Amino acid sequence: MQIYLPIAEMSVNVFLILGMGGGVGFLSGLFGVGGGFLMTPLLILTGIPPAIAVATGANQIVAASVSGVFAHWRRGNVDLKMGLVLLGGGILGSVFGVWLFSHLRSIGQIDVVITLSYVLFLGTIGLLMFIESVRAAIRTRRHIRRKQHMHLWIHGLPLKMRFRRSRLYISVLPPIMIGFLVGLLGAIMGVGGGFIMVPAMIYLLGMPTTMVIGTSLFQIIFVMANVTVLQAVQNQAVDIVLALILLIGAVIGAQFGARAGAKMPGDQLRVLLALVVLLVCGKLAYDLVATPADLYSLWVRG
């Protein structure tokens, strides 16, 4: 069954899009990740214009994060104050990101910047995850201890603030910078940025692991909502119909994924996720360097 997407101005197969949403939802349920970093490249690979894939992805992430944040909120695992500080940086980052996006689009370089960003981030993260999870799988028995409080240069910065929930007394500058970076990535890549935010909160800010996911989801909702509005106003690139179909698939897929994940050992899961990430990265990297079928392309100012 074909459906005509009003903003992308193209006809797509509903079941293909539902299936993609379901597949990404399944993986996100299985691995407990947002899945935006897989959704956007998949949409691009099916022929949705990159600009629309990114902006629509942002809209879809709002929904996914809302449905995820409730459980964490009920358990009190959201540090509101930290969330708001991160959000401050996130809003700045996403405003700058959407502006950059429009500019790159007008000079014809947006597609390559999106693809390049994906290759860079997926490559780095996939590789790190792969090495880490293989190591962990090899020495399953050995116990590794992580230092509780690391003292980095970060802790010498001014403008300190107390975050009671996270039991931290740190400068607001690092969270604002992290928020800014993630907001920027959200605007350009259509990702929630959990894969950067979560490690940064644990290793750079030293937040307790229990607080990290809820707080990250909380701020992602608002940052991606901001990206959605800005993309809608500045680039008219948000396709509600596409977002809704993806959403339905993703919600159902995530439930099956979570169930399947409960039956699989964690280390093997992480190796698998690392492989999926590297696979997507490899395909995108190949497209960047492989000689295109036609060196010329058409572009119509919307």
Q: 226 near 92, Cβ under 8 Å?
A: no
Least distance in angstroms from the C-beta of 59 to other proteins: 5
Judge contact between 3 and 14, C-beta under 8 A: yes
Q: Does 77 bind other proteins (CB under 8 A)?
A: no
Of the candidates 186, 27, 220, 56, the residue with the CA atom closest to the CA atom of residue 117: 186
Least distance in angstroms from the C-beta of 175 to other proteins: 24
Site for other proteins in 7-46 (CB under 8 A): 7, 9-11
**Position 114 contacts other proteins (CB under 8 A):** no
Cβ 35 vs Cβ 25: under 8 Å? yes
Q: How far is the CB of 11 from other proteins (least distance, A)?
A: 4
Binding test (CB under 8 A) with other proteins, winner from 46, 75, 76, 112: 112
Assess contact for 223 and 90: CB atoms under 8 A: yes
Cα–Cα–Cα angle for 68, 195, 62, rounded to 5 degrees: 35
Distances (CA, A) of 106 to 9, 241, 256, 300: 19, 25, 41, 10
Closer by beta carbon to other proteins, 46 or else 268: 46
Residue 244 neighbours by CB under 8 Å, 6+ apart? none
Is 292 a binding residue for other proteins by CB under 8 A? The answer is yes
Site mask for other proteins (CB under 8 A), range 237-256, x = bound: -x-xx-xx--x---x---x-
- The reply to whether 120 sits near other proteins by the rule CB under 8 A is no
Interhelix angle 80-106/50-74, rounded to 10 degrees, is 180
Residue whose CB is less far from other proteins, 107 or 144:
107
CB of 46 to other proteins, least distance (A): 14
4 binds other proteins (CB under 8 A): yes
Give phi and psi for 13, each to the nearest 5: -80, 125
Size (the chain), residues: 302
Minimal distance, residue 282 CB to other proteins, in Å: 15
Binding site for other proteins (CB under 8 A): 1-4, 6-7, 9-11, 59-60, 62-68, 70-71, 108-109, 112, 116, 221, 225, 228-233, 236, 238, 240-241, 243-244, 247, 251, 255, 288-289, 291-292, 294-301
